[in-house]
Chain A
């Protein structure tokens, strides 16, 4: 049992603290495989009837909560659930030996088959099959959804959250704590973009129980049991001393919506435009016309300034449906990013040519860069393709350790580089960036990462290559100051952080940023590095 005032350490996401009541999310288990019952037919029928009643109540509850139009859907589903013919069919299944959950699933499937193939019912079919799943889950005592409260102020606690989970976050979710997961986990990225304070990789949170009041203190990288708002670690309140930051702050985008939203921030252009979205969701190869239209629209909407476009970054873990991408044992280390130029050179050329046309139509300044470059010769190959396709500034992502040692060989080949710190950490520390228990290794304040970054900035300066950082770490205002101190020429942050990063970089001059970086370089642990930076910054903010 955790006592009042207990401090649970983790990695903070966000700049403001929040308190709320703990709501533990139970991990969902898979449904058991179809099974026979032990001979108690009336018992199975009773179990089934109870479960139908429970799910029916659940639907009534959802109908009440939903607006008028959705309420009708839940009412229709409830009527289907209570269908007597369905119950009769399920009882027949029980009579032939199947246990209650299997019997109900089979009965629903009988009707689903009758209804399938008719476009009028296609949408309903998924709903009806979902009903069967809900009933089966109820009998097994398995919770399928997160069942998050709709009202109140809750801090949800779980192992880690998948995209399906985070999609269920309600407005009552004011804070998030994950036992596993690191700073680049899906949970961290979503919480950052939705401005939900979170502490991830917080192993002691396993002991938190429902109903306990906690303070989520991301700036302090901790959770305080029964903590008061006044216990929150103060984010350094940077005071902008000039109107312009010491280096430009750009925004990361991935879609038209992002581009529009980013243009409402103070971002100076786009430092990372991820182009995968256009392809990952499409089952056929988009025509050049379609690519040109999408890119033109996005380029036109993006915030003023240069737009750095990353060519397709896909791999067998993020497959593009229309490219043949065989399953790989280690997708993070496989044929991904620019390595696709082997089997799919024409596709990358298509993309570059579409971007050139969009560049002309939008009249914007476009820089293009290739992901997953491990050799200078690959950079040369990309630069040739890109310069042949259009009038771009040409660059590469620096995310493999090997390319760091080849920066001198990039002289005259590329105009710029951009560091993807998430993948650089993954490859530098040999730690899967999505692995739930490797959060510590992926902490951007790790001395080894700081030294690698500093080496990159120094090497680029020596050969006059423009350098930027576009990983998640550049969304942390204090870390962005350290990056500027190292000599990077720009940073690119997630949209919600552009303002905060910009203010931090406007609060000091380059020599002060360099002092902070030099002090941080002396740190022997990630905690020490972060504390040194924060202490120095607090002094400046005075």
Chain B
């Protein structure tokens, strides 16, 4: 299966906290896809786990890599756009 990658930026003034984590998890679960997030170069965590996402302790202004396992390019882009939206706070 193909993996589509992108980079998102944490714009939320209080960082990557519980609320966006919850929103992303819900999106990931609804999509039924395997999606991973993390800092470029580090090992990524599964984006269906709010605790793992929160453990990234992402700070405002930081960039995170997103990987979506799917053949559906359009759908992947839609998900990435939503994730970016959630990280705006």
Contacts and interface: CB of A to CB of B under 8 A. Distances in A.
- The answer on A and B forming one complex is yes
A83 interface: yes
B84 interface: no
A115 B48 contact: no
A31 interface: no
Contact of B49 (A76, A86, A121, A128): A86
Given A79-B25, A79-B26, A118-B57, A85 B51 contact: yes
Contact of B51 (A75, A111, A120): A111
B39 interface: no
Interface string A68-98: 0000100110011001111000000000000
Interface residues of A, number: 17
Contacts, number: 49
Interface in B4-27: 14-15, 17-19, 22, 25-26
Contact of A84 (B17, B18, B48, B57): B48
A151 to B, nearest CB: 30
A393 interface: no
A83 B51 contact: yes
25 contacts: A72-B19, A75-B22, A76-B18, A76-B19, A76-B22, A79-B25, A80-B18, A83-B49, A83-B52, A84-B46, A85-B45, A85-B51, A85-B52, A111-B51, A111-B54, A111-B55, A115-B51, A115-B55, A115-B57, A120-B15, A120-B17, A121-B17, A121-B18, A124-B18, A128-B51
A79 B52 CA distance: 12
Contact of A79 (B15, B22, B55): B22
A211 B19 CA distance: 42
A121 B54 contact: yes
Interface of A: 72, 75-76, 79-80, 83-86, 111, 114-115, 118, 120-121, 124, 128
Interface of B: 14-15, 17-19, 22, 25-26, 45-46, 48-52, 54-55, 57
Given A111-B55, A120-B17, A83 B22 contact: no
A75 to B, nearest CB: 7
